[in-house]
């Protein structure tokens, strides 16, 4: 069976398992007062070139977004996001629950928010206070849910609009590794203008490890209470921190993301030109969205390939995701099976 | 000064004040165990031809919607509404707060939900459980926020789609009177297929009086707790009930709504054909949405007319609302001032 | 029938009805931009000797407490209150819902919080952050739910403990009028040290009118959003403001409270010394808590007197409440019926 | 350094690490559709002798309690618990947040709820509906936060009171292993009468793994949505399930708990009779609460022993917790250091 269903069907990377094993020595202070967590924070400060950031290891992506947002807004405020943002579309109302606040959908271009779209939302709300929730946060996803990537200039432009209106910027970085790798810039540049980051480990190669990384020091105060109250404070925190540390020491996360992105590119190239197959969005990171003829989709599933329809993007659209665990052979097999099917008709 | 700003700048109708005075005799049991509340329930049962309905008097419209929705859904579910629904656009996140649940925006036609739009939302969610919130409630507004009205056949079609998917129907009836009057049907017909109703009194002529009216008896159980917990249970309830009773005894609410709708129609007719003036939506109830040339809008404001821009409907769009308290003379004065300005250029 | 059941079985005072009538003239700006609300604010500033206070008229007492608390705390914090506080015992979880935060019960003396009790709660929480919610607000009730009153010196001592720990003070003033009257001090003195006040109108003689009064100007910012989001923003606000203004113009609220307190005192004096009858708490304001022999309680109910058992205070304890509408004759009748029953055995 | 601070300063058991390694093979379906999760469910059904139970692996204990409670109550209801329950005292308001509902504190005997205490709470609430939140859930902790254990007969008596009033029973089983071991009964008997269980893995020897185990099949419906919405649904669920499975295969969890309880007993025996040292509660499971003379406490800390003061239990009270990782030598060292200090004065 070949899995392009999601980057969360992958196992953990061997280095992550090794780190868990190494962390499993004797007693350690709980709730983050351990040495591994201290080293994680120190390494994240290097990675993001930010000596003031604070990292709060967490369990899963949806909750990481939720607790990050909750900590920087009040319940009468609103988050601006795209229609296919994870917080809008894949979290079963968790962000509204954690924050008490609305999500306002702004128009997007290729899955990315634009200054104009945000200005429009802000203008509508200002005209209508206090009946309309007041925008407070712009939530970006890097790389986006449809596999595109915000360029550094785009991030700068969003920061400018944020500053104009006193907004904060949250980044859902569940696939930040893929974003950084796609951009070919430093992690610091890939989070330009961001105040608070959901730093993704699970899709990058961990078993289960994420973190809220607060880049803007003015927002750090009292976060420990949110961390606790939202059920995201690990008692034996070293075992979450160790996973993240394994990924960012020696930049393993970026090496793995380059691998995944590269295979997605190969897949995109191999699929382009096949009859009836079309890329819905330009490939940039590790996820492809393709229109497949129904018979082809069926044949591939029958041949053991695993992937999901993505109805939000239209009829007959499917998502193909590569991860650190995807192999060249798997990509080759998928492409071969495509060609075989098309020839066999 | 002439007010077309909203139906809530109007005073209360003299009959409502008289009812408050009549209710102000001696002690009465609190929290709804009084006689006036009992008479209100009895009269509502006649009005809606529903001997099982229960009425729970409340204070204001936003909260009435919120408590009605909260009582029939769980926080992982979702309400389907239009983009300009009051619950989406004018309640500062109250419905998300009261219910804990998402609002999903379906495409609308002239401010009205359609079976196709609802089917599309349901399909997307079903494909994606439990990551997508599960649709549970269709929330309609009668008359809508843009002054249109659901016909009885349209309501029947929505009931059919609701039944197909196990959904409940909530109606925001803040302007139900205007909807009934516009349709020229009975109140019962105007709420065809509705399970739970936000029954509007304030905009219909009360000082402050709304009610949750539960038409589907299966949903009544335990509502008293929601009523209390959401801060909408009046201790001296007789004074809310008396206002509502004054409106529905002798069908005063419908008489007043016909008056308001009629003046809105006169306004629409008078404005049509004026240069640069256009109705954005067809007039049906008591609110008009018109594009006005900026200079005209300014001139009218300067002449003492009060009305709001309605940016959600586009640039240079303004809302004009008639109420029971609007007079023929005021409509005439507004139209005259329009014509004078256009001539004077 | 004679009602000692609650001060909310009373009607509204004639002056309140007259004010509603006077307010019912033509159109007025909605949501608080009307003249009567401006006059209410001005008069409250005089009454409390505080030129910076802001008043936000609301509908009912439970919600007023909830929105006041919500606006000054974050959901990981806690309110300290007594076991019989209205927010703990009579609001069906509304305060936890509105604030998202815990209520921590401190030991009380005669229904009143003490500096020692608060210190103990704070110490426990500090030892245990962030696992224990962090105390943020002390919530006092003036007069208390058991009819006692905080003296000015007691309020000063609580302010000192609040300052020591960075706490804010909320006062549930649903019966503030009775508190002021009992103390014989100015309203300003009766709210010594208070940051935010639930100002009670309904029990003082209104039909339905309360207000959040923010005494500490640092807490005013953005309250309009809380006001809206919690469903407590009246659209035709003038009709709430007019009721409150009627009560505080010419100090009518205090005149009425002195009347109610005086009758409660007569009742207390008349009951003391009756066989098997005992005051559970010393009478100070308008509510009495008395132990009655079961046969006497039954006989009184049979004779048409209305009052509730108060199980929180113990077995065979009943609450007797006087209001502005209670008459000397009613008190006399109640006492006579007591004596008649005791003689008749 | 010797750790008696908590069972969450311990590492994971080697068998748990081995299970993580074994689970780390290739791709697996995410969100619980994997084979290891299926085996976990099957094994839990054996362990609890309940072929209908459903298990939902989660990340941490506080959230496990919160999501379990949320799924079986509505926000106007209440949970009955003891004053030192984890949900009341150690979760920073998370349960109120997840459920929207109140916690009502009932009197306890040695940290355990009693039928009488519950009856009293229920009676108070029934008298006062809908102003008082309605009790819906009894939440027990097995073993309790103060190290005592509910006997099977006690559980039966609580079930009877629950049935009398239509209540459900939740068990916080963060230390269920220690409870089972202390009782010397089967796991099924140790959860007699329980509807929904927070099954604890982390304190029993996992790195981070808990589960909601629904024993009452009527409560299973729709839990997947709660699981998701509360941020407790692991994407790579196999890595949580594997930890739990490692603990319950071959009853490792009970073997480890017997070890921990046994050392706590040795500690209790060793401390009893020392001058100035007293057990505050009878030892039954793996946690001791002892009064220590301040000088002794200081000397022990100085000697490298780690343990916390437990102010909730009184002044100079300390908690000593043994875990699977505690050794006989550590207990001996602690006792020796006690005796040395007492002799040296």
Q: Are residues A119 and A49 in the same domain?
A: yes
Work out the minimum CA distance from D184 to partner chain A, whole angstroms: 28
Contact criterion met (CB < 8 Å) for B105 and A100: no
Residue of B nearest to C5 (CA): B29
A228 vs C contacts (CB less than 8 Å): 76, 130-131
* pLDDT tens column, B294-304: 999 999 999 99
Produce one character per residue of A194-205: b if its CB has 16 or more CB atoms within 10 Å, e if not. Answer: bbbbbbbbbbbb
**Residue B1 pLDDT more than 80?**
no
Rounded to 10°, the helix A294-302/A328-344 angle is 130
Work out the minimum CA distance from C318 to partner chain D, whole angstroms: 13
Closest Cβ–Cβ partner in C9, C66, C207 for B239: C207
pLDDT for res B250: 95
Residue A28 and residue A196: Cα distance in Å, rounded? Answer: 28
Q: Are residues D290 and D232 in the same domain?
A: no
* pLDDT tens column, B193-212: 999 999 999 999 999 999 99
Contact criterion met (CB < 8 Å) for B94 and C26: no
Contact criterion met (CB < 8 Å) for D207 and A25: no
Angstrom distances, CA of residue A321 to CA of A324, A325, B148, B260: 10, 11, 45, 58
Please say whether the dihedral angle defined by the alpha carbons of residues B261, B262, B263 and B264, taken in this order, is positive or negative: positive
Average pLDDT over residues A226-233: 97
Cβ C99 vs Cβ C69: under 8 Å = yes
pLDDT for res C1: 73
Average pLDDT over residues A268-295: 96
B227 vs D contacts (CB less than 8 Å): 130
Closest Cβ–Cβ partner in B100, B311, B312 for A97: B100
Choose, out of C92, C307, C317, the residue to mutate when testing the contact with D (most D CBs < 10 Å).
C92
Work out the minimum CA distance from B82 to partner chain D, whole angstroms: 24
CATH number at residue D295: 3.90.1150.10
* pLDDT tens column, D57-71: 999 999 999 999 999
Q: Are residues C247 and C259 in the same domain?
A: no
Q: Is B148 exposed, middle or buried (0-12, 13-18, 19+ CB in 10 A)?
A: buried
Average pLDDT over residues A182-196: 98
Cβ D66 vs Cβ D94: under 8 Å = yes
Residue D175 and residue D173: Cα distance in Å, rounded? Answer: 5
Angstrom distances, CA of residue D104 to CA of A306, D107, D129, D194: 49, 10, 15, 19
Q: Are residues D158 and D224 in the same domain?
A: yes
Average pLDDT over residues A144-165: 98
Number of domains in chain C: 2
pLDDT for res B126: 87
C171: enclosing H helix or E strand: strand C168-173
Residue C60 and residue C47: Cα distance in Å, rounded? Answer: 21
Q: Are residues A27 and A162 in the same domain?
A: yes
What confidence tier does D302 reach under pLDDT thresholds 50, 70, 90? Answer: very high
Contact criterion met (CB < 8 Å) for C93 and D105: no
Closest Cβ–Cβ partner in C131, C134, C229 for A76: C229
Residue after which a domain boundary falls, among C212, C231, C251: C251
pLDDT for res A325: 97
C neighbours by CB contacts (3+ pairs under 8 Å): A, B, D
B78 vs A contacts (CB less than 8 Å): 93
Contact criterion met (CB < 8 Å) for C102 and D96: yes
Closest Cβ–Cβ partner in D92, D124, D311 for C127: D311
Contact criterion met (CB < 8 Å) for B92 and A133: yes
Q: Are residues C147 and C269 in the same domain?
A: no
Residue whose pair of structure tokens reads 């009748």 in the numeric block: C333
* Cβ-based neighbour number of residue B331 at 10 Å: 21
Residue after which a domain boundary falls, among B204, B234, B250: B250
Residue of B nearest to C24 (CA): B11
Cβ B145 vs Cβ B109: under 8 Å = no
Q: Are residues A282 and A263 in the same domain?
A: yes
Q: Are residues C176 and C273 in the same domain?
A: no
Q: The complex's ipTM? A: 0.97
SS3 readout for chain B? CEECCCCCCCCCCHHHHHHHHHHCCCCCCCCCCCHHHHHHHHHHHHHCCCCCCEEEEECCHHHHHHHHHHHHCCCCEEEEECCCCHHHHCCCCHHHHHHCCEEEECCEECCEECHHHHHHHHHHHHCCCCCCCEEEEEEEECCCCCCCCCCHHHHHHHHHHHHHHCCEEEEEECCHHHHHHHHCCCHHHHCCCCCEEEEECCCCCCCCCEEEEECCHHHCCCHHHHHHHCCCCCCCCHHHHHHHHHHHHHHHHHHHHHHHHHHHHHHHHHHCCCCCCEECCCCCCCEEEEECCHHHHHHHHHCCEECEECHHHCCCEEEEECCCCCCHHHHHHHHHHHHHHHHHC
Q: Is A335 exposed, middle or buried (0-12, 13-18, 19+ CB in 10 A)?
A: middle
Work out the minimum CA distance from A2 to partner chain C, whole angstroms: 44
Contact criterion met (CB < 8 Å) for D93 and C105: no
D129 vs B contacts (CB less than 8 Å): 224-225
Rounded to 10°, the helix D115-126/D152-165 angle is 10
* pLDDT tens column, D151-181: 999 999 999 999 999 999 999 999 999 999 9
Query: To the nearest whole percent, how much of chain D has pLDDT over 90?
Result: 97
Work out the minimum CA distance from A132 to partner chain B, whole angstroms: 5
Peptide bond into A143 cis (omega under 30): yes
Q: Are residues B183 and B261 in the same domain?
A: no
Choose, out of D90, D101, D102, D319, the residue to mutate when testing the contact with C (most C CBs < 10 Å).
D102
Contact criterion met (CB < 8 Å) for B229 and D75: yes
Residue C199 DSSP class: E
Residue B287 and residue C175: Cα distance in Å, rounded? Answer: 42
Task: Give pLDDT tens digits along chain C (345 positions).
Answer: 789 999 999 999 999 999 999 999 999 999 999 999 999 999 999 999 999 999 999 999 999 999 999 999 999 999 999 999 999 999 999 999 999 999 999 999 999 999 999 999 999 998 888 999 999 999 999 999 999 999 999 999 999 999 999 999 999 999 999 999 999 999 999 999 999 999 999 999 999 999 999 999 999 999 999 999 999 999 999 999 999 999 999 999 999 999 999 999 999 999 998 999 999 999 999 999 999 999 999 999 999 999 999 989 999 999 999 999 999 999 999 999 999 999 987
Residue D210 and residue D58: Cα distance in Å, rounded? Answer: 5
Residue A109 DSSP class: E
First-last CA distance in chain A = 23
3-state DSSP assignment of residue C246:
helix
Q: Are residues A84 and A197 in the same domain?
A: yes
Cβ D311 vs Cβ C124: under 8 Å = yes
Structure tokens of C297?
């309680």
pLDDT for res A273: 87
Q: Quick one: which of B262, B255, B311, B314 has its CA closest to B284?
A: B262
Closest Cβ–Cβ partner in D24, D94, D232 for A11: D24
Structure tokens of B268?
């629409």
Contact criterion met (CB < 8 Å) for C75 and D89: no
* pLDDT tens column, B77-128: 999 999 999 999 999 999 999 999 999 999 999 999 999 999 999 999 988 8
B neighbours by CB contacts (3+ pairs under 8 Å): A, C, D
Contact criterion met (CB < 8 Å) for A24 and D17: yes
Q: Quick one: which of B49, B57, B60, B52 has its CA closest to B86?
A: B60
pLDDT for res A2: 82
Residue B59 belongs to what domain range? 14-250
pLDDT for res B65: 98
D228 vs B contacts (CB less than 8 Å): 76, 130-131
CATH number at residue A227: 3.40.640.10
Let me know how long chain D is. Answer: 345
Average pLDDT over residues D184-209: 98
Contact criterion met (CB < 8 Å) for C133 and D93: yes
* Cβ-based neighbour number of residue A130 at 10 Å: 19
Q: Are residues A268 and A241 in the same domain?
A: no
* pLDDT tens column, B134-151: 999 999 999 999 999 999
**Residue D321 pLDDT more than 80?**
yes
pLDDT for res C59: 98
Residue of D nearest to C134 (CA): D92
Q: What is the number of helices (H) and of strands (E) in chain A?
A: 14, 15
CA A313 to chain centre: 18
Cβ C132 vs Cβ D92: under 8 Å = yes
Residue after which a domain boundary falls, among B216, B250, B284: B250
Work out the minimum CA distance from B1 to partner chain C, whole angstroms: 9
Residue of C nearest to A100 (CA): C100
Q: DSSP letters of D116-174? A: HHHHHHHHHHHTTTTTSPEEEEEEEESS-TTS----HHHHHHHHHHHHHHT-EEEEEET
Contact criterion met (CB < 8 Å) for C228 and B94: yes
Choose, out of C89, C102, C104, C308, the residue to mutate when testing the contact with D (most D CBs < 10 Å).
C102
D neighbours by CB contacts (3+ pairs under 8 Å): A, B, C
Q: Which positions in chain B have a beta carbon within 8 angstroms of at least one beta carbon in chain A?
A: 75-76, 78, 89-93, 96-97, 100-102, 105, 123-124, 127-128, 130-133, 309, 311-312
Q: Is C86 exposed, middle or buried (0-12, 13-18, 19+ CB in 10 A)?
A: buried
Q: Are residues D138 and D26 in the same domain?
A: yes
Choose, out of A31, A70, A71, A74, the residue to mutate when testing the contact with C (most C CBs < 10 Å).
A74
pLDDT for res B273: 87
Work out the minimum CA distance from C216 to partner chain D, whole angstroms: 27
A neighbours by CB contacts (3+ pairs under 8 Å): B, C, D
Mean pLDDT of chain B: 96
Contact criterion met (CB < 8 Å) for D20 and A17: yes
Q: Quick one: which of D228, D247, D250, D256 has its CA closest to D59?
A: D228
- Which is it for strands D2-3 and D305-306: parallel, antiparallel or unpaired? parallel
What confidence tier does D127 reach under pLDDT thresholds 50, 70, 90? Answer: confident
């Amino acid at each position: 069976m070949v899995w392009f269903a999601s980057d969360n069907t992958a196992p953990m990377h061997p280095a992550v398992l090794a780190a868990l094993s190494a962390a499993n020595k004797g007693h350690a202070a709980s709730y983050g007062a351990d040495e591994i967590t201290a080293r994680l924070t120190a390494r994240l400060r290097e990675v993001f070139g930010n000596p003031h950031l604070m990292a709060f290891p967490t369990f899963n992506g949806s909750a990481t977004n939720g607790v990050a947002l909750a900590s920087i807004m009040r319940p009468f405020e609103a988050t601006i996001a795209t229609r296919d943002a994870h917080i809008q579309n894949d979290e079963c109302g968790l962000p509204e629950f954690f924050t008490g606040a609305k999500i306002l959908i702004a128009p997007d271009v290729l899955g990315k928010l634009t200054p104009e779209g945000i200005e429009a939302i802000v203008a509508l709300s200002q005209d209508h206070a206090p009946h309309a929730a007041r925008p407070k946060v712009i939530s970006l996803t890097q790389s986006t849910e449809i596999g595109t990537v915000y360029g550094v200039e785009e991030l700068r432009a969003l920061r400018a609009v944020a500053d104009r209106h006193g907004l904060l910027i949250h980044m859902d970085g569940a696939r930040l590794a893929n974003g950084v790798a796609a951009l070919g810039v430093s992690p610091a540049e890939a989070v330009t203008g961001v105040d608070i980051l959901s730093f993704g480990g699970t899709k990058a190669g961990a078993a289960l490890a994420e973190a809220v990384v607060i880049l803007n020091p003015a927002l750090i105060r009292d976060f420990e209470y949110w961390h606790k109250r939202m059920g995201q404070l690990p008692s034996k925190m070293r075992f979450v921190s160790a996973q993240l540390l394994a990924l960012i020491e020696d930049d393993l996360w970026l090496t793995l993301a380059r691998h995944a992105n590269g295979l997605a590119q190969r897949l995109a190239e191999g699929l382009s030109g096949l009859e009836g197959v079309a890329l819905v969005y330009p490939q940039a990171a590790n996820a492809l969205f393709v229109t497949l003829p129904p018979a082809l989709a069926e044949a591939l599933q029958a041949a053991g390939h695993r992937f999901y329809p993505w109805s939000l993007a239209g009829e007959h659209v499917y998502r193909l995701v590569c991860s650190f665990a995807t192999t060249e052979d798997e990509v080759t097999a998928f492409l071969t099976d495509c060609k075989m099917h098309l020839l066999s008709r």
